Amino acid sequence: MIYTILKYLFFIIGVLAGFAASYDMLVQAYPDFGILGFTGWFVMTAMFFPLAPFYPGIVSGNWIFLIVCYSAFAIGVILGNQVKKSHN
């Protein structure tokens, strides 16, 4: 039970890190975006959020989004495997 909760918590942290990196990209590209720009950003980020953390790292050297996103996903997968092992 605890592994399942932690697994989903780490997946949520990874997704939020991807969205934060993508929002940084949106603010740099369109500083005065409206509701249409925000909606388009949200849809595109939902499809490509694992790639979004690369942008701040490559452009400005801010690799923390990438580190948090991918390490959270890796920990989430490890915890998911622990859930499978504990049910057997």
Distance CA 55, CA 21 (A): 7
How high does pLDDT run on average in the chain? 89
Count other Cβ atoms within 10 Å, centred on residue 55: 18
% pLDDT > 90, the chain: 41
Measured distance between the N- and C-terminal CA atoms of the chain, rounded to whole angstroms: 14
Q: What is the pLDDT of residue 88?
A: 62
Give Cα separations from 86 to 8, 10, 13 (angstroms): 16, 19, 24
Q: Which residue ranges of the chain lie beneath pLDDT 70?
A: 88
